[in-house]
Amino acid sequence: MAEARQVPEVAAPAVAQGNAAYAWPTHPTYMGTDVQRIDGPDKVTGRAKYSYDIQRPNMLYGRIVRSPHPRARVVAIDLTMARQAPGVKAALAVVEPNAILMFQGEEVAAVAAATEEQARDAARLVKVQYEVLPPLTSVEQAMSPDAPKVFPDGNVREGAAEETGDLAAGFKAAAHVVEQTYNTQVQTHVSLETHGCVCEWDGDKLTAWVSTQAVHGTREGFAQALKIPQANVRVITQYMGGGFGSKFAPDAQGIICANLAKQAGAPVHLMLDRKEEHLATGNRPSAYAKIRAGVSADGMLTAFDAQTWGTGGAGVGAGFPLPYIYQFPNRRRQHKDVYINAGGARAMRAPGHPQGCFITEVLMDELADLVKLDPVDFRMKNLPPDAPDARWRAYFPIAAKLFGWDKRHPTGDATPGPIKHGFGCSANRWGGGGRGSHAHCEILPDGGVIMRCGTQDIGTGTRTLVSIVTAETLGLPIDAVNTEIGDSLYPFSGGSGGSTTAASVTPAIRVTAVKALDALKAKVAPKLGVPPADLVASDGRLHARNDRAKGMTWKEACRTLGAEPIAVDGEWQPGLSASGTSGVQMAEVEVDTETGVSKVTRLVCVQDCGLIVDKLTAESQVIGGVLFGVNYALFEDRILDRNTGQMVNPNMEWYLIGGPSDVPEITAHLVDQPERGVIGLGEPPAVATAAAIANAIANATGVRLRSLPMTPDKVLAALEQQRAGGTR
């Protein structure tokens, strides 16, 4: 049973300690401005080739046979008929007889055929005999004492209790106590490009075009699983259609694809379909918290006692941080991972944080109401001390001003009519930060510049960042740089997870470009009669720092290289990046109390991310993160049938993602912190949105929803309970 592949938060300083030789420019030309994506034209024309789009000569199509049962024993697998089907070139069993399958969608067998249609037909001809076993389909069932023991080490794994301070004294100091249960749903990644790859063998060497967030990590994964040297594997990811934390390895389908290609002696294209994607490629675990929390009469948090649990599916943990951000001096928490027969969790955009944030922030509003304090004032009293990576004390007021928070009414919109309006707020934190990343730069005698780095652009704009930093450093136009990424043949760079890519890659590019420029300066300096240290590169020229006329054009400078290009390697160094971000969000909603439909009308996001490299794409990240949070708040839910354990909405019409009409007015306020260096931004803005929306719905309706997603049925049920005289 594997743990979820969580991307570790990087332990890095909160402020960059500058190294003068490579320090970021103080008056940049491109950095921090709006720079269009360099691959934008390829994406808008359809010319960008994703792994899904790769077509090789004589390529076959693969198809996986998956368990239709959430729990079953494989009795027998018969590939005979499948092998005889038209067009079939390879067929294999993925598991042996007697294997126990633990979730719907687990891989059983696979085929490859000349056309996709033939592969689907042949997959249906694979005869698998199952002994169906009773599954655990919900956390309630898995935790009940009479549940069958399905997992070898028990259905529930109880963690050690965490305790700080004196809980009894904390509750004694409380003037009010809230006791409630909160929960968040299972969310799937729904990357638009499904998981999968194209595998092609040349003798004992494998080339794989993979939809992955980690070309080097995936190379290692193929080598280990196939028992071949890493040097024999090449992984290419020029474009990839979203991963959100679910794509760091070849996975079962990658290894199956490589084995089918080997057996068939031909390249195989194996991309999952939408149902497989929902079932087998990861999800954000659910979270439950039964909390007792106390607040003093003057609005200080005093005590927090929580039992928490959640499911990451079959054998995967469901951890999340709690309490989130705010300071409870006396606290205790006991967490349990609950296993059920469903696809396993994987890292998903800020793993654990949206869960911990929602639970804590909804609780915070309940406590604020009890002491009759404005939610912002109440939070300000209970925040940790200000620090470079903890700036909520500054950001709440900024957000309040941008949002118009002073117009908030007390809980429950008193205006007549069915449509109620409300405001809500919340805060978020995340790590980010840089780590080892390498690059290679060539300056060619004809003036050409190539920058290579084995990172990948998962949609965040990494390719563009590489060009920006190279052009900035060499004093050239952005389109003068040939950026080459997305290939494991290029210098090592880590996986794109934990919001670490920008902070890992851009320092490596900066260092490498500076080194390359230094090499060019050394060649040119004697010809200009200027010491190399006095040369600068700007506006396409190399010239003396104090005398622009004493210099030559970039092309002239490169011509002095003769036949031998400059080729230098560089790597990430400390001093150009840092770790730790903070942010605040505020939401306005409109709730129809007759239909239960909530609509988010406005969102303000105040977010820092260190030094901004490309303002345009950074803002896109923030807007996208906020919308990710809107979906989590209102729409998304992996629904399992409680009797059969089957996912009832493994598609995109019943697994809901908001569309253009669901978009609120979004204010993305990025706080630039050039002194901190680059940090990273992909995850932080996605954390706080659902909590802010939940608090806004409570402010509008006067009833509190403690369960995500906040669908119309839950809103109506809460309103009905209030009318019936239930407790708020």
Partner 1 sequence: MAPKDETRSELDERSGVSRRFFLKTVGAGGVAASVIDGLQEALPHAQEAGTAAAPAAIGPGPVPITLNVNGQRLSLKVEPRTTLLDALRNHAGQTGNKRVCDRGSCGACTMIIDGRTRYACSTLAIEAQGHDIRSIEGLAKGTVLHPVQQAFAEADGMMCGFCTPGFVMSAVALLEKNPHPTVEEAKRALDGNICRCGTYVRVLEAALKTKGVARG
Q: Which of 13, 18, 28, 49 binds partner 1 (CB under 8 A)?
A: 49
Angle between helix 353-370 and helix 689-701 axes, rounded to 10 deg: 30
Tell the residue number behind the tokens 């794409």, with chain if given: 617
327-337: burial string, b at 16+ Cβ within 10 Å, e else: ebbbbbbbbbb
Q: Which of 81, 147, 544, 616 binds partner 1 (CB under 8 A)?
A: 616
Decide if residue 209 touches partner 1 (CB under 8 A). no
Q: Which of 26, 27, 45, 549 binds partner 1 (CB under 8 A)?
A: 45
Decide if residue 625 touches partner 1 (CB under 8 A). yes
Beta bridge partners of 9: none
671 CA to centre of own chain: 21
Kindly tell me which of 564 and 653 has the beta carbon lying closer to partner 1. 653
What is the spatial distance between Cα 170 and Cα 4, in angstroms, rounded to a whole number?
35
Kindly tell me which of 513 and 600 has the beta carbon lying closer to partner 1. 600
Decide if residue 460 touches partner 1 (CB under 8 A). yes
Decide if residue 50 touches partner 1 (CB under 8 A). yes
Kindly tell me which of 458 and 514 has the beta carbon lying closer to partner 1. 458
Kindly tell me which of 402 and 656 has the beta carbon lying closer to partner 1. 656
Kindly tell me which of 528 and 618 has the beta carbon lying closer to partner 1. 618
- H helices present in 421-500, as ranges: 462-474
Decide if residue 637 touches partner 1 (CB under 8 A). no
Kindly tell me which of 46 and 385 has the beta carbon lying closer to partner 1. 46
Decide if residue 80 touches partner 1 (CB under 8 A). no
Interaction mask 137-176, partner 1, x per CB under 8 A? ----------------------------------------
Output the DSSP codes for 50-86.
BGGG---TT-EEEEEEE-SSSSEEEEEEE-HHHHHST
Decide if residue 601 touches partner 1 (CB under 8 A). no
> Going by C-beta distance under 8 Å and a sequence separation of 6 or more, which residues neighbour residue 134?
71, 148
Asked if residue 335 lies in contact with residue 291, where contact means CB atoms within 8 angstroms, the answer is no
Decide if residue 478 touches partner 1 (CB under 8 A). no
- Segments of 431-509 assigned E as strands: 438-443, 449-452, 481-484
Q: Which of 30, 52, 392, 430 binds partner 1 (CB under 8 A)?
A: 52
User: DSSP label at 240?
Assistant: -
Q: Smallest distance from the beta carbon of 111 to partner 1, in angstroms?
A: 17
CB atoms inside a 10 Å sphere around CB 436: 12
402 CA to centre of own chain: 27
Q: Smallest distance from the beta carbon of 669 to partner 1, in angstroms?
A: 14
Kindly tell me which of 604 and 698 has the beta carbon lying closer to partner 1. 604
Kindly tell me which of 22 and 628 has the beta carbon lying closer to partner 1. 628
What is the spatial distance between Cα 337 and Cα 310, in angstroms, rounded to a whole number?
6
Interface region with partner 1, contact rule CB under 8 A, candidates 90-98, 241-249, 357-365, 550-558: 241-249
Q: Smallest distance from the beta carbon of 372 to partner 1, in angstroms?
A: 37
Decide if residue 57 touches partner 1 (CB under 8 A). no
Interface region with partner 1, contact rule CB under 8 A, candidates 33-41, 62-70, 230-238, 562-570: 33-41
Q: Smallest distance from the beta carbon of 527 to partner 1, in angstroms?
A: 37
Kindly tell me which of 84 and 115 has the beta carbon lying closer to partner 1. 115
What is the spatial distance between Cα 73 and Cα 123, in angstroms, rounded to a whole number?
19
Interface region with partner 1, contact rule CB under 8 A, candidates 51-59, 66-74, 424-432, 483-491: 51-59
Q: Smallest distance from the beta carbon of 241 to partner 1, in angstroms?
A: 3
The two structure tokens encoding residue 50: 């994703």
Decide if residue 727 touches partner 1 (CB under 8 A). no
DSSP 3-state assignment of 362?
A: helix
> Going by C-beta distance under 8 Å and a sequence separation of 6 or more, which residues neighbour residue 422?
409, 413, 588, 589, 591, 695, 696, 697, 698, 699, 700, 701
> Going by C-beta distance under 8 Å and a sequence separation of 6 or more, which residues neighbour residue 521?
532, 535, 542
Decide if residue 58 touches partner 1 (CB under 8 A). no
Stated as kind and residue range, the H or E segment containing 615 is helix 615-634
Angle between helix 375-382 and helix 392-403 axes, rounded to 10 deg: 170
What is the spatial distance between Cα 494 and Cα 489, in angstroms, rounded to a whole number?
13
Decide if residue 240 touches partner 1 (CB under 8 A). yes
Q: Smallest distance from the beta carbon of 483 to partner 1, in angstroms?
A: 16
What is the spatial distance between Cα 454 and Cα 504, in angstroms, rounded to a whole number?
12
Q: Which of 25, 241, 329, 412 binds partner 1 (CB under 8 A)?
A: 241
Q: Which of 9, 78, 220, 273 binds partner 1 (CB under 8 A)?
A: 273
Q: Smallest distance from the beta carbon of 465 to partner 1, in angstroms?
A: 14
Q: Which of 398, 623, 671, 717 binds partner 1 (CB under 8 A)?
A: 623
Decide if residue 639 touches partner 1 (CB under 8 A). no
Kindly tell me which of 343 and 685 has the beta carbon lying closer to partner 1. 685
Q: Smallest distance from the beta carbon of 461 to partner 1, in angstroms?
A: 8
Interaction mask 97-136, partner 1, x per CB under 8 A? ------------------xxx-------------------
- What is the Rg, in whole angstroms, of the alpha carbon atoms belonging to the chain? 28
Q: Smallest distance from the beta carbon of 233 to partner 1, in angstroms?
A: 24
Decide if residue 274 touches partner 1 (CB under 8 A). yes
Residue type, 620: S
Kindly tell me which of 317 and 624 has the beta carbon lying closer to partner 1. 624
685-720: burial string, b at 16+ Cβ within 10 Å, e else: bbbbbbbbbbbbbbbbbbbbbbbbbbbeebbbebbe
Decide if residue 36 touches partner 1 (CB under 8 A). yes
What is the spatial distance between Cα 10 and Cα 494, in angstroms, rounded to a whole number?
12
Q: Which of 185, 617, 673, 699 binds partner 1 (CB under 8 A)?
A: 617
Asked if residue 7 lies in contact with residue 667, where contact means CB atoms within 8 angstroms, the answer is no
Cis-peptide, bond into residue 650, ω within 30° of zero: no
Tell the residue number behind the tokens 């190379």, with chain if given: 219
Q: Smallest distance from the beta carbon of 186 to partner 1, in angstroms?
A: 17
The two structure tokens encoding residue 459: 């949609």
What is the spatial distance between Cα 392 and Cα 385, in angstroms, rounded to a whole number?
9
Interaction site with partner 1 (CB under 8 A):
36-37, 39-41, 43-50, 52-53, 55, 61, 115-117, 190-194, 239-242, 244, 273-274, 458-461, 616-617, 619-621, 623-628, 635, 651-653, 656-663, 666
